[in-house]
Amino acid sequence: MIKIINIGMNHETAPVELRECFAAEVGGLVKALTAMRELECIKEGFFLSTCNRVEALITTEAAEEAKQFVISMMSRLGNIPEENFSSSLYTFEDTDAVRHILRVASSLDSMVVGEPQILGQLKEAYAQASRHKTSGVIINRLMHRAFHAAKRVRTETQICEAAVSISYAAVKLAKKIFHVLDGKKVLLIGAGEMAELAAKHLIANGVSSMVVANRTFDRAVQVAELFDSRPVSFQEIGQQLSEVDIVVTSTASPEYVITYDQVKNSFRKRRNRPLFFIDIAVPRDVHPEVNRLENVYVYDIDDLKGVIELNMAQRQQEAVKAERIIQEEVFKFDKWIKTLAVVPTIVSLREKAEYIIQNEMKRSSYAFTDLNHEQNEAIQNLMRSITEKIINDPILYLKKKAASPALNTYLDVTRKLFSLDHDNGSE
Amino acid sequence: MTFLWFNLALFFELLATGGFIVFIIKQQKWVFKYSYRILVAGFICHTIFLGCYYCALGTAPVLDLKSALSFFSWSIICAYLVFQIKFRLMVLGSFVAPFAAFLMIISSIMPWFEGQVKPIFKSLWLTVHVGTAFMGNGLFAIAFLAAIMYLIQEHQIKHKKFGSFYDRLPSLATLDSINHYSLVSGFPFLTVGMITGSVYAQYALGTYWQWDPKEVWSLITWLFYAALLHERLAAGWRGRRAAVLSIICFFILIFTFIGASFWLGGYHSFSSMGSR
């Protein structure tokens, strides 16, 4: 009986120090696939390695041997001893493995649930596997089902649309205000991981120019270099306010950096163009009163968290829907894989029929010598269609029973009834 | 035959309205596609109706409130279809279609105009005057609807309360630019409509301007829109304040359209047009 086995680690089971050992290895994927192809007991193999996960997927008839091989192969790839990472590994078999792969493809297993990259990475890994001819009937089918499930999750639920991180929420809000961020100008005040992440997100979404201000000018220069932008001094902020569209603040300043009057004064020069403040600092940098100005929108960290929590609640419902879709797809795949079990019996049934035809033809061939080609053909066809009709019902019956728990009994009876195991046609 | 086209137009526009309402709730793209096609079908029927009616009367069919409302509804849909090509904003239909259908419903329950059309109305000037003025009105209606959408969306973003409209409505910038474009394009129409009206008055009544209530109110409407446009273009008004003003302007316009025709008398009133 063939088994589908999935061994891997993800952001939940393994710390980043461990995951990066695998991610760093260039060409590791090809090495893994080659090793899998060469091993006899592994029928089909698939390998995925991203910064958040390592997954090996195999089909085999010798489960234990294959598992051991995969683990030792991983140890060689990551260049770390087995005992150092074996506790971080998870192993899924059959239905669980199928479900896991489908969840991975649909980004339900991702660190940032709903992030779209994983599907692309999976597709790329699958392309590699088929290029190196390690994927076969089962993995091909499984991958296509996984892509299909991912598509369904993406189109039928809103799980991918929900904002998950502060910076993503900020970008989404900015888009609700400005529609597109192309050509917009950002002022980054202060530094810090979160502010830089927000800036990075804004740039990735089309923001064209950025200025960086910091109380210590040296630091501003440093950060500006990071983003290929222009540093300005802290005193220039007021003047910059009349030019920029989005302000990201995250200073450690105990009092407000941006005051009501400052923003108000900038507005004549701005000609009322909207201004969006993303205030990530605690304590806050932008005076709350600023939000009362027309065409000014101030979001502090709590507001942004509020946006995210709102999405989280929505996401809970969407996640239930997504899991239901996965369950449906797992069920469909399961049904298919079970039909695989009846395939050998059906094949031997057909072979037996063909064997009988050939044998009987040979035996009666002396009587057919006078027949011309057409008549000969007709006789062959006649025999074929008779045998086809006889074995057709048993075959249909077996296929129907493929998902039944008593399948083995049915297979057994069929093999005995037609004595498939003794009389294999080559006596 | 003419009335069949009217009923067909009414039917399709109501159907499209239903579709657009389903679309804004369900957010399914195919619902929009069908609703849009149905609306276009309704618009075509409506256009044929106007054409037939024009030929039957020998002048633009605006001499009673029923036809005027139907023409208003037609011009709104016309403006919407043009904007749809430019902005491709699906949700706009969910606001425009109900509004246009609402006007059509009122129009449909009124009696048909009976009686002779006075020869004075059988003039190309009238057609141009009414055609341009209504096209302006249609575009201002779009500006009005965009302003309402803007205020809803702005309120949600400003007060950080995200209702079910937040995802369904487009960005503030989009709504503001729809408001802007419809004002900029509607204003010349209104202006031309007023000038041709005055030329027509000279030709038909012998005077350019005679302080008819509708003339006065049209001038007030025109001044309000002129002020709004000036603030927008010269002073850089945008966003909330511009939206609020364009809503006020539209209410004045509606008053001019309906109020001046009914309560204030004068030669623009429908009652004077029907009398022989």
Domains of chain A and CATH, by start = 3-156 (3.30.460.30), 166-305 (3.40.50.720), 335-417 (no CATH)
Query: Does position B122 have pLDDT exceeding 90, yes or no?
Result: no
What is d(CA A37, CA A133) in angstroms, rounded to the nearest whole number? Answer: 8
Contact at CB, B171 and A274, closer than 8 angstroms: no
pLDDT at A426: 44
The listed range with the strongest mean pLDDT (A250-254, B98-102, B264-268) is B98-102
Residue from A171, A172, A179, A269 whose CB has the most chain B CBs within 10 Å, to mutate: A179
**Count of structural domains within chain B:** 2
In the β-sheet with A42-49, what is the strand arrangement from edge to edge? Answer: A42-49, A53-60, A3-10, A90-93
Averaged pLDDT, B17-39? 91
Q: Is A40 on the interface with B (CB under 8 A)?
A: no
Residues of A in contact with B171 (CB under 8 A): 175-179
Residue A230 in 3-state DSSP? Answer: strand
**Predicted local confidence at residue A255, as pLDDT:** 84
The predicted pLDDT at position A427 comes to 38
The mean pLDDT of chain A is: 85
Residue-level pLDDT at B98: 94
Instruction: Specify whether B131 is located in the same domain as B79.
Output: no
- pLDDT tops 70 at residue B265: no
Parent domain of B62: 1-111
What was the pLDDT predicted at B276?
Answer: 35
Per-residue pLDDT of A322-376, as tens digits, reads: 999 999 999 989 888 888 878 888 888 898 999 988 888 888 888 878 888 888 8
Give the gap in angstroms from C-alpha B152 to the nearest C-alpha of chain A: 13
- Give the mean pLDDT of B186-192: 95
Decide if A269 touches B, using CB distance below 8 A. Answer: no
- Between B157, B162, B241, which is nearest A297 by CB? B157
- Contact assessment for residue A77 and residue A31, using Cβ atoms and an 8 Å cutoff: yes
Q: Which residues of A touch B168 (CB under 8 A)?
A: none
Residues B6 and B125 in one domain: no
pLDDT for res A25: 60
**Which residue among B173, B236, B240 places its CB closest to the CB of A271?**
B236
pLDDT at A163: 41
- Which residues of A are tagged catalytic? 51
User: Chain A window 160-179: which residues touch B at a Cβ cutoff of 8 Å?
Assistant: 173, 175-179
B260 and B130 in a common domain: yes
User: Chain A partners of B153 at a C-beta cutoff of 8 Å?
Assistant: 176
DSSP string, A366-382: GGGTT--HHHHHHHHHH
The string of pLDDT tens digits covering residues A257-309 is: 999 999 988 888 888 889 999 988 767 889 989 999 889 999 987 788 777 77
Q: Are residues B44 and B168 located together in one domain of the fold?
A: no
- pLDDT the model gives residue B272: 65
| Domain-terminating residue out of B88, B111, B134 | B111
User: Identity (one letter) of the amino acid at A9?
Assistant: M
pLDDT single digits (tens) A177-186: 998 899 899 9
pLDDT mean over B28-33: 89
Among the listed residues A103, A106, A45, A35, the one whose alpha carbon sits nearest the alpha carbon of residue A73: A35
Predicted confidence (pLDDT) at residue B50 exceeds the cutoff of 80: yes
Based on the domain organization, do B239 and B276 belong to the same domain? Answer: yes
Q: Which of B81, B96, B111 is the last residue of a domain?
A: B111
Angle at A225 between CA A221 and CA A229, to 5 degrees: 90
B129/B257 same-domain check: yes
Interface test with B, best of A272, A273, A292, A305 (most B CBs within 10 A): A272
The nearest alpha carbon in chain B to A299 belongs to B160
Interface pTM, i.e. ipTM: 0.84
Count of helices and strands (H, E) across chain B: 11, 0
C-alpha distances (whole Å) from B139 to each of A217, B82, B83, B181, B246 are 52, 10, 9, 9, 12
Residue that is last in its domain, among B111, B138, B156? B111
Q: What is the mean pLDDT of residues B32-37?
A: 92
Same domain membership, residue B121 and residue B82: no
CA-wise closest residue to A46 among A139, A141, A150: A139
* Top-confidence residue, B230 or B161: B230
Do the chains contact at B172 and A177, CB–CB below 8 Å? yes
Share of chain A above pLDDT 90, in %: 22
Mean pLDDT of B197-224: 87
Do B28 and B61 belong to one domain?
yes
Considering only residues A52 and A398, tell me which one the structure prediction assigns the higher pLDDT. A398
pLDDT at B65: 82
Q: How many pairs of residues across A and B have Cβ atoms under 8 Å apart?
A: 49
Answer yes or no: are the C-beta atoms of B36 and B45 closer than 8 Å: no
Please give the model's pTM, rounded to 2 decimal places.
Answer: 0.63
CB contact under 8 A, A291 and B174: no
pLDDT value for A423 = 53
